């Protein structure tokens, strides 16, 4: 008996050792290509297997990921100069860290940055953000690890290169050169995602089940800190109730807050399970909103958008559906951001004023209570969001009821996230209202979502994130002035004006700024939620099982 007990004790450490982490998320990436489309699910997955040049960390500080040193004017890695056409410009030196390799062992070099730059500057490729590549008018390869980037403007965030990611030129360049317009559908990131040559992070993709999950194993070519877990499995469960059930059944170890359960569902889970999981609520730069398609004549009328917003009791929704854990939004700038204007206009809940505005806009109540215009057309709007997200679906029901009270008919049509983000939003197919969230970095100038040049079109191969089709000349000017205004205090009035226009014009209907609820097993440590666009997975090599 004693001999058996000793054997069991000796076996316990090995049996308890955890080398696999299974993570549940609610969306599946529409593509794994790092430079095509923006989707939170893709950012989270790629955090394990890719690294950008720079990122903002959990303390909201800009740090190097692939680069050796953040360039600055003080250290000479950034130098002011004059562009060939006589404008103020800047020359930025970026040097890659020593020992970086793709998963097949090929060194990551300046040629990989050059290829990303070449493809990004070709409009047919459809990379975003297009303006960044346009402004980087020359890239000079200095040596195998160093490039100089000449930019046609001096911006306050010139060192931030999170959107400029190297691409493996040795396997992708020939595909792109063969047909730049078709590249987005022929890239190996979608056709052959388990090719190790595509991956540069602590993990590499080894198995893909489209729509269901992605498995990643340790990347033997990774030169950074050795990751603790041998295998990372990211499982997609689009229905949040089913995702919670898988957590309770032990089919997933954790639920990523970036793409997990809504806060009210987690709060209830936390009460029921009483210490089984570790939960952290993290407020962040996550802006839940409704984007109207302004090509729709009804939604093109600012009075209709204002009426739709006033007809919604956002504070009541936050209190009753989210337990008061969200912050009602009045513009697209989070109060946590240093450039938030505390005096921005706040639309109240006022159904009577909303009805009066709709009357003024020519929409009169019909015999069935639904408003019609002079031509007899009903004020009926499609409202779309990601299917299976219980929280958003509950919000849709409340919105439909509150809009019905002022004579607006709502038709709820939802799609799986990979379709909604990958096709419908990208190609502006929904002519009504789209509910989703933008996730940003600190003091992020929203050019891609508000500038008139960023409206997706077939000619641009659907790049750009201004899916509502918002056009405003003063906003375009502000978005161009903000990045080149170097002093923070000088930017403040520009930000205030941008928020004032936003609050009146309502290119999107502000709902609230989200808190993310992270659910971890008690044995997991080292995960640090960031509360912004750069996901916690970018630091996965520091995650440990205790």
pLDDT digits (tens, 9 = 90+) for 368-382: 999 999 999 999 999
Alpha-carbon distance 297 to 129, whole Å?
Answer: 28
With bands split at pLDDT 50, 70 and 90, how would you rate the model's confidence at 14?
A: very low
- Is residue 252 within 8 A of residue 261, CB to CB? The reply is no
Alpha-carbon distance 48 to 216, whole Å?
Answer: 8
The DSSP element (H or E) to which 460 belongs, if any, is none
Q: What is the pLDDT of residues 316-360, one digit of tens each?
A: 999 999 989 899 999 999 999 999 999 999 999 999 999 999 999
Q: Is the pLDDT of residue 312 over 80?
A: yes
How many Cα neighbours within 13 Å face the side chain of 294? 22
- Nearest partner of 92 among 112, 67, 119, judged by Cα: 67
- Is residue 161 within 8 A of residue 129, CB to CB? The reply is no
- What's the confidence (pLDDT) of residue 422? 84
Task: Transcribe 56-68 into DSSP letters.
Answer: E-TTS-EEESSBS
- Is residue 379 within 8 A of residue 407, CB to CB? The reply is yes
- Nearest partner of 509 among 336, 341, 288, judged by Cα: 288
Q: Residue 241: is it exposed, middle or buried by C-beta count within 10 angstroms (0-12/13-18/19+)?
A: exposed
C-alpha 503, offset from chain centre: 22
Q: What is the pLDDT of residues 289-304, one digit of tens each?
A: 999 999 999 999 999 9
- What's the confidence (pLDDT) of residue 527? 97
Q: Is the pLDDT of residue 2 over 50?
A: no
- What's the confidence (pLDDT) of residue 131? 85
Reading the block at residue 310, the tokens are 């006033």
pTM, to two decimals: 0.83
- What's the confidence (pLDDT) of residue 39? 84
Q: What is the pLDDT of residues 102-126, one digit of tens each?
A: 999 999 999 999 999 999 999 999 8
Residue scoring higher pLDDT (143 or 17): 143
Reading the block at residue 39, the tokens are 């989707």
Interior angle at CA 52, CA 51 and CA 57, nearest 5? 90
- Is residue 263 within 8 A of residue 281, CB to CB? The reply is yes
Task: Give me the domains of the chain, ranges plus CATH numbers.
Answer: 17-30+178-282+517-545 (3.40.190.10), 51-170 (3.90.76.10), 284-515 (3.10.105.10)
With bands split at pLDDT 50, 70 and 90, how would you rate the model's confidence at 391?
A: confident
Alpha-carbon distance 119 to 102, whole Å?
Answer: 19
């Amino acid at each position: 008996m004693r001999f058996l007990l000793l054997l069991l004790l000796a076996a316990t450490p090995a049996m308890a050792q955890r080398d696999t982490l299974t993570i549940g998320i609610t969306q599946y990436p529409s593509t794994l290509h790092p430079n095509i489309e923006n989707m939170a699910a893709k950012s989270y997955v790629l955090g394990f297997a890719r690294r950008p040049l720079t990122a903002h960390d959990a303390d909201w500080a800009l740090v190097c990921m692939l680069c050796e040193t953040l360039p600055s004017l003080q250290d000479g890695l950034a130098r002011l100069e004059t562009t060939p056409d006589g404008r103020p410009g800047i020359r930025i030196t970026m040097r890659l860290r020593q020992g970086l390799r793709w998963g097949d062992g090929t060194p990551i070099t300046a040629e990989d940055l050059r290829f990303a730059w070449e493809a990004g500057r070709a409009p047919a490729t459809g990379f975003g953000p297009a303006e960044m590549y346009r402004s980087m008018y020359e890239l000079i390869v200095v040596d195998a690890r160093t490039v100089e980037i000449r930019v046609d403007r001096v911006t306050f965030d010139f060192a931030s290169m999170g959107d400029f990611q190297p691409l493996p030129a040795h396997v992708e360049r020939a595909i792109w050169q063969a047909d730049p317009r078709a590249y987005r559908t022929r890239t190996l990131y979608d056709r052959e995602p388990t090719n190790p040559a595509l991956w540069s992070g602590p993990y590499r993709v080894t198995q893909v089940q489209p729509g269901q999950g992605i498995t990643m194993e340790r990347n033997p070519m990774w030169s950074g800190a050795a990751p603790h877990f041998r295998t990372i499995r990211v499982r997609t469960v689009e229905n949040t109730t089913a995702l919670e059930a898988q957590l309770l059944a032990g089919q997933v170890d954790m639920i990523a807050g970036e793409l997990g359960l809504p806060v009210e569902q987690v709060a209830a889970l936390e009460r029921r399970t009483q210490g089984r999981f570790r939960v952290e609520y993290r407020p962040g730069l996550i802006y839940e909103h409704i984007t109207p398609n302004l090509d729709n004549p009804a939604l093109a009328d600012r009075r209709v958008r204002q009426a739709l917003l006033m007809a919604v009791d956002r504070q009541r929704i936050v209190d009753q559906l989210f337990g008061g854990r969200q912050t009602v939004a009045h513009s697209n700038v989070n109060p946590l951001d240093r450039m938030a204007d505390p005096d921005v206009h706040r639309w109240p809940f006022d159904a009577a004023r909303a009805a009066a505005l709709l009357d003024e806009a020519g929409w009169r109540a019909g015999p069935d209570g639904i408003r019609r215009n002079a031509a007899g057309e009903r004020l009926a709007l499609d409202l779309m969001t990601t299917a299976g997200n219980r929280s958003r679906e509950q919000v849709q029901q409340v919105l439909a009821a509150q809009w019905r009270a002022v004579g607006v008919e709502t038709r709820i049509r939802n799609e799986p996230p990979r379709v909604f983000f990958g096709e419908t939003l990208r190609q502006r197919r929904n002519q009504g209202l789209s509910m989703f969230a933008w996730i940003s970095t600190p003091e992020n100038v929203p050019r891609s979502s508000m500038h008139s040049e960023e409206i997706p079109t077939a000619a641009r191969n659907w790049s750009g994130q201004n899916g509502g089709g918002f056009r405003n000349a003063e906003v375009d000017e502000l978005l161009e002035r903000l990045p080149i205004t170097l002093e923070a205090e000088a930017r403040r009035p520009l930000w205030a004006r941008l928020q004032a226009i936003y609050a009146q014009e309502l290119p999107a209907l502000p709902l609230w700024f989200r808190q993310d609820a992270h659910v971890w097993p008690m044995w997991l440590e080292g995960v640090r939620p960031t509360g912004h666009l750069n996901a916690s997975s970018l630091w996965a090599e520091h995650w440990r099982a205790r």
